[in-house]
């Protein structure tokens, strides 16, 4: 069999409990449109989640916006000349389960300090992202390409 390293890891299996909301009430089914154009073309890496057809409660959309915001602020603060931020969530868990900052060799301070600053300055729980970026304000059609 396959031996997995388990020390220092948490295994989350359906952490939200029973999944009872499905169909149109759980997801519009209209995802997958304009994925790359919504995320800087080929400039930045992409995890595969689309924005189209998703409301801000879906981290595919809200967390992508938040990571742009975080990366912009890392650069604006002079911590790095370039920045890409990756985040991972588990369904049913508000706090991110992973955060990674890539500065492409342009960091002015240690990477751990940048990640610590991001963790201390930004509340990356989905509800906080929606609140802080005012994502329930319906301006999407005005800003759509």
23-143: what fold? GMP Synthetase; Chain A, domain 3 (3.30.300)
- Using CA atoms, how far residue 101 sits from 1, 43, 83, 113, 142, in Å, is 34, 16, 7, 10, 30
d(CA 24, CA 12): 26
The pLDDT of residue 142 is 63
Q: How far apart are CA 86 and CA 13, in angstroms?
A: 22
| Helices 111-121 and 59-76: angle between axes, nearest 10 degrees | 120
Q: Which of 27-31, 34-38, 96-100 has the lowest mean pLDDT?
A: 27-31
Please give the radius of gyration of the chain, using alpha carbons only, rounded to the nearest integer.
Answer: 17
- What are the residue boundaries of the structural domains of the chain, listed by start? 23-143
Q: What is the reported pLDDT for 32?
A: 62
**pLDDT score recorded for residue 114:** 96
For 50-100, write each residue's pLDDT tens digit: 766 678 888 888 998 899 999 999 999 999 999 999 999 998 899 999 999
Specify the pTM: 0.72
pLDDT band at 8 (very low <50, low <70, confident <90, very high): confident
Mean pLDDT of 107-119: 95
| pLDDT above 70 (res 111) | yes
Residue 102 pLDDT level (bands cut at 50, 70, 90): very high
């Amino acid at each position: 069999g396959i031996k997995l390293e388990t020390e220092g890891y948490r295994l989350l299996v359906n952490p939200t409990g029973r999944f009872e909301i499905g169909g149109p009430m759980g997801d519009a089914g209209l995802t997958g449109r304009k994925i790359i154009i919504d995320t800087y073309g080929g400039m930045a890496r992409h995890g595969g989640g689309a924005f189209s057809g998703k409301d801000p409660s879906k981290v595919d959309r809200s967390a992508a916006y938040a990571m742009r915001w975080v990366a912009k602020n890392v650069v604006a603060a002079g911590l790095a000349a370039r920045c890409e931020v990756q985040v991972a969530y588990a369904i049913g868990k508000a706090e991110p389960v992973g955060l990674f900052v890539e500065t492409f060799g342009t960091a002015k301070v240690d990477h751990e300090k940048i990640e610590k600053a991001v963790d201390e300055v930004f509340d990356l729980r989905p509800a906080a992202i929606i609140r802080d970026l005012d994502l329930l304000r319906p301006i999407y059609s005005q800003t759509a390409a």
